[in-house]
Structure 1
Amino acid sequence: MKTKNLFLVSVAMPNYGQDQFISQAILGVLSQKADFEIELIVANDCSPDNTEAIVQEIIHTHPNGSWIKYTRHAENKGAIPNFAWSISQAKGKYIAICEGDDYWTDPLKIQKQVDFLEKNKDYSIIFHKVKEIDASGNQTDTNILNSPEEEQTYDLKHLTAGNFIHTPSVVFRKNFNELPPWIVYSPLGDYPLHMLNAQYGLIKYVPEEMAVYRVGNGVWSSQSRNHRIINTMFTVKLLTLHFFNHKEIYHLLSNRYKHLLESLTNHNKTLSPEAAAYKLSFKKLFMIIIKKMKHLIK
Structure 2
Amino acid sequence: MVETLVSVIMITYGHEKYITESINGILSQQLDAEIELIISDDCSPDNTDSIVRNIIDTHPNGHWIKYIRHTQNKGAIPNFVWTISQAKGKYIAICEGDDYWTDPLKLQKQVDFLEGNKDFVLCFHKVKILKPTGELVDDFITKIPENFEQRETLAKKLNYIHTPSVLFRNVIQSEIDSLEFKSAPIGDYFLYMILTKYGKIGYLEDCMAVYRYGVGIFSSLNRMKHIKVNILLFTNLYSYEKDPIIKKIFYKHLLDALSLIDEEFKKKDNILNTRRHKLIEKIYKFLRK
Instruction: Give the match's secondary structure for 2:6.
Output: strand
For 1:171, which of 167, 175, 188 is the aligned residue? 167
- Report the TM-score, using the length of structure 2 for normalisation: 0.86
Hey, what does 1:158 align to over in structure 2? 153
Q: Does 1:228 align with 2:226?
A: yes
**Counterpart code for 2:151:** L
- Equivalents in 2 of 1:7, 1:72: separation in Å? 22
- Equivalents in 2 of 1:91, 1:108: separation in Å? 21
- Equivalents in 1 of 2:105, 2:36: separation in Å? 16
Q: CA deviation at 1:262?
A: 2.6
Instruction: Give the match's secondary structure for 1:18.
Output: coil
For 1:202, which of 179, 196, 200 is the aligned residue? 200
Q: CA deviation at 1:136?
A: 4.2
Q: Which runs of 4+ in 1 moved over 4 A?
A: none
- Aligned partners of 1:43 and 1:73 also within 8 Å: yes
- Aligned partners of 2:148 and 2:154 also within 8 Å: no
Q: Does 1:238 align with 2:236?
A: yes
Deviations 1:219-255 (Å, cap 9, x if unpaired)?
1111123322321221111111111x31111111111
Query: Compared with structure 1, are the counterparts of its residues 167 and 141 closer, same or farther at alpha carbon in structure 2 (3 Å cutoff)?
Result: closer
Hey, what does 1:89 align to over in structure 2? 86
Higher mean C-alpha displacement, 180-189 vs 15-24:
180-189
Q: CA deviation at 1:120?
A: 0.5
- Equivalents in 2 of 1:54, 1:8: separation in Å? 26
Hey, what does 1:257 align to over in structure 2? 254
- Aligned partners of 2:128 and 2:139 also within 8 Å: no
- Equivalents in 1 of 2:231, 2:256: separation in Å? 10
Q: CA deviation at 1:160?
A: 1.0
Q: Does 1:110 align with 2:107?
A: yes
Higher mean C-alpha displacement, 225-234 vs 211-220:
225-234
- Aligned partners of 2:127 and 2:139 also within 8 Å: no
Q: Does 1:216 align with 2:214?
A: yes
For 1:42, which of 39, 42, 45 is the aligned residue? 39
- Equivalents in 2 of 1:103, 1:225: separation in Å? 27
- Equivalents in 1 of 2:205, 2:49: separation in Å? 35
Instruction: Give the match's secondary structure for 2:103.
Output: coil
**Counterpart code for 1:242:** Y
Deviations 1:245-270 (Å, cap 9, x if unpaired)?
31111111111212222334439x84
Instruction: Give the match's secondary structure for 1:29.
Output: helix
- Report the TM-score, using the length of structure 1 for normalisation: 0.84
**Counterpart code for 1:65:** G
**Counterpart code for 1:8:** L
Aligned-residue Cα RMSD (Å) equals: 2.6
- Equivalents in 2 of 1:195, 1:130: separation in Å? 21
Superposition map of 1:61-140 within 5 A? 61-139=58-136
Hey, what does 1:296 align to over in structure 2? none
- Equivalents in 1 of 2:67, 2:33: separation in Å? 20
Instruction: Give the match's secondary structure for 2:82.
Output: helix
- Equivalents in 2 of 1:228, 1:146: separation in Å? 20
What count of residue pairs does the alignment treat as equivalent?
Answer: 271
**Counterpart code for 2:233:** T
- Equivalents in 2 of 1:44, 1:116: separation in Å? 31
Deviations 1:8-28 (Å, cap 9, x if unpaired)?
210010000000100000000
Q: CA deviation at 1:53?
A: 1.1
Q: Does 1:32 align with 2:62?
A: no
Query: Compared with structure 1, are the counterparts of its residues 41 and 232 closer, same or farther at alpha carbon in structure 2 (3 Å cutoff)?
Result: same
Q: Percent identity?
A: 48
**Counterpart code for 1:156:** R
Query: Compared with structure 1, are the counterparts of its residues 166 and 156 closer, same or farther at alpha carbon in structure 2 (3 Å cutoff)?
Result: same
Structure 2 residue runs without a partner (length 5+): 284-289
Q: CA deviation at 1:42?
A: 0.5
Deviations 1:103-133 (Å, cap 9, x if unpaired)?
0000000110011001111000100111111
